Structure 1
Amino acid sequence: MLYLKPLLLKCNTSICTTLYTSPTRLLPSSVKRFTHIIKRPPIVSILGHVDHGKTTLLDNLIKNYQIQNRITPETTITSTEFGGITQKISTFSLHLKNNLNITILDTPGHKTFSKMRKRNTQIPDILLLLVSIQDGILTQTVETINHLSSIIQEANENDENPPNVIVVVTKLDLIKDSNERNKKLNKIKNDLLNYNIVIEEFGGDIQFIPISSITGFGMNDLIDSMVALTDILQLDSDLDSPIKADVIETSVNNKIGGKIVNVLVKQGNIKQGSILIGSQSGAWCKVRRILSNSPQSRSIDDKQEIIPIGGPSQVVSTLGWKNLDVIVGEQIIGLRNESDAKKLSKEILKNIENENVNNNTSTNNNTLETSDSDSEIVKPKTKKINFIIKADTQGSLEAVIDSIRNFGNDEVRTCIVAYSVGQPTINDKKLAEITNSTILCFNLDNSNSIKPDSKPNENEKIKIKYYNVIYKLIDDVTEILTENLPQHYETKILATLTIKEVFNYKQRNSTYLKIAGCKVLNGKIMHNSNVKIIRDDEEIYKGKVKSLKHGKDDVTELNKGNECGLVLDDFDDFLANDIIEAFEDVPLPKTL
């Protein structure tokens, strides 16, 4: 019962003590005898930097599966992805060879999906670390390696089995020259040593397999390696043991019953009526329905297939969860009955509340509190631009939040007012009106957008923006912030004049008008120029030209070398040798 061990050690109630010391006492009598042992499929995660060939590799494996099973190939995953990049976790159950089935988790490589990658480093039996032969080891490759190092260390400390890594070098078809190809392969091998990834060639236990998902080169070697690793790992599972599962993703679909929680079953069988509880959130459910999560099992209209049971290494969608939010990445266990689930949920929530009080944090999952570090970043004069975030899944939601939270500078910064999974609601609309927020919707169908109130206000303008590519959302937020930056200017000197002599001109009303007799040293002075007067290196006046004369004639402009008479607005305290500079304020480009 390692899933709940940290929590159970904090609880003093009888249910927590029972779960920790004798977990089977809280399970139905029919599952107390652990006898139904089966070989379970290996769980394989595909991880790597964005555009390093993860989805193309998956397309190749699916094509191989379709050929073996005489299935007419359908549209590739790559061709259906918005923006040409993976933006959510996809799961597939495939048959490889020798009667081996595998469960594959395809994970986004874009930098904004860091938390998804970290979770998918913890889950698998086999981890395929993809590196493009063209690019070598890049940022998200290093990030995955760092996650992996932490997980291996933790597994060793807990006497558990860490993921088995295969380094897969992709896109070999793009390097035609064999000498250049070998040179790049050797560089990747040596670069991996810098991160303590020691391949078999150098005496380590990590396989290194070059492939081309386009031509098929090396694919048989990769499949054979996964088959061999599975034989070595001896992945057994007891179907009658207590349910253990990991939350892969959560979403909302009111058409099929509201909250959907996708779980990867590690142990036991999830059936209709199973009692499940989240070890971190305290959310629980009596499973009302189980849906297959694999795209291969979807119908023509993209509806998920209802299945009777979810077994080891299967990713299934479960329905029936109560109002509390399930946390992506948390572990799920099965309990005996609803009464035990309610008691344990109460204890978990009590511990969460106590921790939040001690840490001075909020338990509200739909609003963001400003942390101490946020307060240091946002200065009093910083303009805040408000956003409400809506997304299709919890993983997408956290990626958007992580991308734009506290985004900006000292002059303008994002402020996330609220966030949640699902379509915008009337309450979201009202909150947007009150807070002057823009509603950002990611991976949502805009055909199901907010319906108007019974008495809509024709003057209200709620800004709702829909996106299906993460970097376009980020670009749009950047543009909105940029538009709200204050305008800064650069002063450009157009002309420099020196005052040679000051004249007193008697006007018709017998008053005297002081005229600065000047010479244009450089540039061009205009009859309506902005000017400033410099005396002893200090600016003593800033204003506009009122009158510009050449001799007795009014002129519109004069160039270098000409003499002129100047009259300025609200200033006549001229002195010989004063410097006059004509200038213009040029608006600078707005950049964050």
Structure 2
Amino acid sequence: MRVHELAKELGVNTKVIMDLLASMKVQAKSHSSTLDEATVERVRRRVKGHVEAKPAEPGRVATTPSGERILGMRKIVLPPPPPEPPAADSTTVDTPAIGAAPAKPASVEPPVKAKPALPEIRVVPRPVAPPAEHLHPASAPKVTSRDAKPAMRPAAAAPGTMAPQRPPVKPGPPRREGPPRPMPPRAPVEPPPPSAAPAPAVTPPRERIPKIKERIPPPPPPEPVAPPPVVPAEIDVAGPITVGELAAKLGLGGGDVVKRLLEQGVLAGINQQIGVDVAAKVADALGSKIRRPEPAAAGAALSAPRRLERAKDDAAVPRSPVVTVMGHVDHGKTSLLDAIRQTDVATREFGGITQHIGASTVEVGGKRIVFIDTPGHEAFTTLRARGAQITDIVVLVVAADDGVMPQTVEALNHAKAAGVPVIVAINKVDLPQANPDRVKQQLSDLGLVPEDWGGDTVTIPVSARTQKGIKELLELILLVSDMQELRANPARPARGTIVEARLDRGRGPVATVLVQEGTLRIGDAVVAGSSYGRVRAMTSERGERVAEATPATPVEVVGLNDVPTAGDLLEVVADDKLAKAVAEERRERQRAVEAAALRPGGEEAGAAEGPKELRIILKADAHGSVEALTSALERLAVPEVKVTVMHAAVGNVTESDVMLAAASRAVIIGFNIRPEPQVRKMAEQEHVDILSHRVIYEAIDDVTKRVRGLLAPKRREVSLGQAEVRKTFTISKTGMVAGCYVTAGVITRTASVRVIRDGVVVHEGKIASLRRFKDDAREVTEGFECGIALERFGDIKVGDILEAFEI
């Protein structure tokens, strides 16, 4: 039962019940607090014990307002006999206590003075009742109810101001009769006034006042002191972690970890990431150790990228070969793929090669051949640079009329570096100027001796236009694949390679995956490089939804958290948690590699396996320079360091050269040539050194220093920018002035400049004058025009490239 319900039942003010409960040591916060039955019974007994004095309520009410009223009533009441003084005395003893307690507890004398008037008060109610017998039923309660309310009010407004207002109410009995008529509807409210009588009985609040004082001073019970946080002995940290996550693992507040970081000189916020090494120092200072979990199920994913081994267990089954067509861009590579597609169309009535996935399958005699549909050899180099060798056979296309071209040699070097068999397709044999024998002679010079000349290189004449040799080429591919015994186990967890990846606006990251081992299913948790996720959908090369992909099957996978890199190895792991740990570990290693200062390429290769090898890619402006440099550099080899010229050609440094150097950890040497800005940018991203020289002995000296362990040449130059000559002017005082447009970087007044014409350096010197809108300029940035005059050089032509650099 609630406090206010009990007060209503007993006809007592809620505050009285609250005070009574406080005196009984019962906790009750408000009038809505709930009381148990035992407490309710105790309160009832306490209150009813004091309710006996109910008949004295009128006397009390008459006495409480003021003595003046009572005196007027006393004149009327004097005749009655006074046999009741003892009872009246008992009631009067209670009433003054009631009137005095709420008004002013400190004044004790007023109640004592009121005692002589008490006999008069007790007589008042009874004599007044007989004269108005006909009004007794209504008037008596009205008087009591009216007097009962003032009894409460004077208690609140201690001053006796109410007394003068009540006498004017008495003289007009009609006025008393007026309010009583509206009062009958309030008859149900009348019980509270009688119940107000118990209040006086309960009023030993004089005893309660000290109890309240006792209750205030005692302080609240002390809050239990939380035990100091227990820092775990070891925590698992797989990669970079935020300060908040580290604090949660250590069971501490973020502020504690931030303080420890500040002590070590690291300023980091609660949401900022810190490296594992920094986290280890913080944990050590707090008495904990960091354990870096090595995911067992994804051990292969954390290892260095490598070629997938062929399955040797009994469950392995033959798989389809993966073929990449490479060659010069004008030698009919695309036409050959179109011819293969037409062959497949004739047998299966639908296109086997589509343009939207990058990989496709063709059936020949009931067997499948997977073609990686990538443009040229550049994508193949990218895959090999990532360490993912997914190609089983390379088809090298050579035009019968053009013969071996520079890009043909480059593609052959890529195939040799990958260590895969090569099938040479001599295309365009239907042309009248075709000369297959000359092509075979050129291939023999490159080390590819045809079978009909006593070698081991498979060559076949084909014509993409007339369909000649297409079927024979496909049969040869199947024959070579049978000799390789390509097998895979579809029952293992799936592993494959990312052929290409992109960000789709509707589906998010989409990766083209070539499954090489096991079976990839929807719902598998996968990790690819630093990306991870769960396979949500798979699409075949024909755009059909598939539920699983077996070995040597290209599919599009949706569900990764980020776009992976072409060439990344995709593996199925136990769960999402493990996939995330592997991805974070890889991401941290990648950051460490990027942050560390890399040594020049090629010198660390083979450090743990005997002699080191310095690999070089040589590009020059003429064949004579190539031959001279190649022989001179190879003579620099010593027993401890082997110098290998992997690739030497005429022409400028290309992006393919950079990718080949990155894959083989080689150094690029350019003799009398200058690479393009985009090539330099790619070389910086791939951490490949490009060394440019104009004098042969400088190149020899540079390589000699590298062989001796001097990692950096004495002279290091920084390319600032390039400007293209759009127009030339002749000024009498200055001489030849070139009107230029800055195409890259910035041209500064103090920089040195090279004049490059058709990829060959024709002059190197200083800038004599740099102007913009007839005003001298200190520098001109990309996208603006300017006028440049060179010192002691006036042979500037439209189309020349001016390269600014600093030593």
Higher relative contact order (CA 8 A, sep 6+): 1
Structure number with the higher strand fraction is 1
Structure-2-length-normalised TM-score: 0.37
State the structure with more CA Rg: 2
Structure number with the higher helix fraction is 2
